[in-house]
Structure 1
């Protein structure tokens, strides 16, 4: 059961997050923060961060260009976390059954908000001709209202009216349709990899492959290092077993050393090429910016 004050807080945040994304820029509009906030309100930070992080990775490669609309991962995250905690739904199931569909449906409310704002835009055009600066400021601020309501109304109604429906869906998925529930769980775990794939598809990976290799390898090594430190702490907590637990350290593999060396060599080569002024011709530069793979490079963004 979702309490009224939880519905109120999540609804207010739903209205704030789109304004933050458009103009405030405090980084509180990211899906991972939406998951953090929803988890804090619902009393389960682990579920909130799990769903928020998964949605953040899912939309890594999704962006807007010009006036294009995109899926609202934040609103999807809010509803998914709320119902996951309230109904006991697995986070992976909540991602595929709630977060992604809701995020996609919110495109329509986004478009409605854009259409509604044309009224304020035309009013401002008229006031510019009249040099009415106070009126311009007033209508500029009023333009935030359609944006906020485009998120607050769907999220508020979903939280207030969807509890019984979601409960029935969860019971049905975990009962007669357990095979579907297991499939949704797997799909929810795979979605972040899809986001990474989209991101890598449009980033200039070939140009900066050295940094990609270096970052991946160092991250893997740090994961092993911190895992080993955790093992030491566990061993010290049970002194008689220290000797046995110290054996869990993993050595630095030759593959990791080779990847780090390769990354550093590529960085050194690129630096040397820049010093020698090995610049491509205009034709080659044009071809590089529009590669066969469709990769966006240089300053095209």
Structure 2
């Protein structure tokens, strides 16, 4: 059951996140941040981050260039996290049954919000002609209201009225096992789709060597860390029965705290490659012509 204060906080965040995305751009309007905030409010940050990360990867290479509308994965992450925690829905199933449909439907409210703000934009133009600075400021701030409502209103209605309906839909999907398995598989494919879209927009052909290097480094480190984890687990399993036979003061101390491949390590390597690429692109070597150096003459275009 979603509490009233949780509905209020999630609604307020939904109103703020789109304004942040359009003005401050602090990443508070990203799906992974929405999953974090929603999970924090609902009391299950793990589920929120899992859902938010899946949707973040799905829209990784998608932008609203030229004022184009895209699926609202952020609001989808909010609703999917809220219902996943409240109704006990599997996160992967919540992504495909709640987040993706909601994200697609909110394209229409996004368009409605864009159309409504044009009214305030024309009022700003009129205030500019009158040199009415207070009017410019007032209409600019009023233009944020349609944007905020385009997200807050659907989220509020879904959270306040849609719990029973969502549970009914999820129960029906769970009863049709092949359909549920198909949606789960589709949810696992969405991050790959996001990467494919991102690679489509990136200059991959020109930087193919960096892509290959990153893939190779990740693959090798994954194998190394997996083997270390396996070795640590094996040693711990052998020491456990031995320590049961030994006195407490003579037990062999071993802690299997080997972690998986840290993504921060991959991020550092990526940052290093990005800096190297930037520095290489800034190097411009201009060799003077031999004739000018030997004669000492200055051409017209050198003055």
Q: TM-score range by the shorter chain?
A: 0.7 to 0.9
Q: Which residue of 2 aligns with 1:182?
A: 181
Question: Contact 2:50/2:91 (CA < 8 Å) preserved in 1?
Answer: yes
Shift of residue 219, structure 1, vs aligned partner: 2.1
SS of equivalent to 1:174:
helix
**Partners in 1 of 2:238 and 2:181 — Cα distance?**
41
Q: Which residue of 1 aligns with 2:23?
A: 23
Q: Which residue of 1 aligns with 2:266?
A: none
Q: Which residue of 1 aligns with 2:139?
A: 139
**Partners in 1 of 2:236 and 2:211 — Cα distance?**
38
Q: Which residue of 1 aligns with 2:221?
A: 222
Deviations 1:259-285 (A, max 9, x none): xxxxx9xx99xx79x8899xxxxxxxx
Closer/same/farther in 2, CA of residues 26 and 276 from structure 1, 3 Å limit: closer
Q: Which residue of 1 aligns with 2:89?
A: 89
Shift of residue 88, structure 1, vs aligned partner: 1.6
Shift of residue 227, structure 1, vs aligned partner: 3.9
- What value does the CA root-mean-square deviation take over the aligned residues? 3.0
Shift of residue 220, structure 1, vs aligned partner: 2.6
Question: Contact 1:92/1:187 (CA < 8 Å) preserved in 2?
Answer: no
**Partners in 2 of 1:232 and 1:40 — Cα distance?**
36
**Partners in 1 of 2:184 and 2:210 — Cα distance?**
33
Larger Rg: 2
SS of equivalent to 1:34:
helix
Closer/same/farther in 2, CA of residues 219 and 133 from structure 1, 3 Å limit: same
Q: Which residue of 1 aligns with 2:203?
A: 204
Q: Which residue of 2 aligns with 1:129?
A: 129
Consecutive unaligned residues of structure 1, counting only runs of 5 or more, are 250-263, 278-301
SS of equivalent to 2:66:
coil
Deviations 1:21-70 (A, max 9, x none): 10111111111111111111111122111111110111112112211111
- After TM superposition, which residue ranges in structure 1, 4 or more long, deviate above 6 angstroms? 274-277
**Partners in 2 of 1:226 and 1:107 — Cα distance?**
42
Q: Which residue of 1 aligns with 2:293?
A: none
TM-score after normalising by structure 2: 0.76
Deviations 1:95-123 (A, max 9, x none): 11111111111111111111111111111
Q: Counterparts in 2 of 1:1-301, with a 5 A limit? A: 1-175=1-175, 177-230=176-229, 234=233, 240=239
Shift of residue 229, structure 1, vs aligned partner: 5.0
**Partners in 2 of 1:230 and 1:42 — Cα distance?**
33
Q: Which residue of 2 aligns with 1:298?
A: none
TM-score after normalising by structure 1: 0.77
**Partners in 1 of 2:159 and 2:222 — Cα distance?**
38
Consecutive unaligned residues of structure 2, counting only runs of 5 or more, are 243-251, 259-272, 287-303
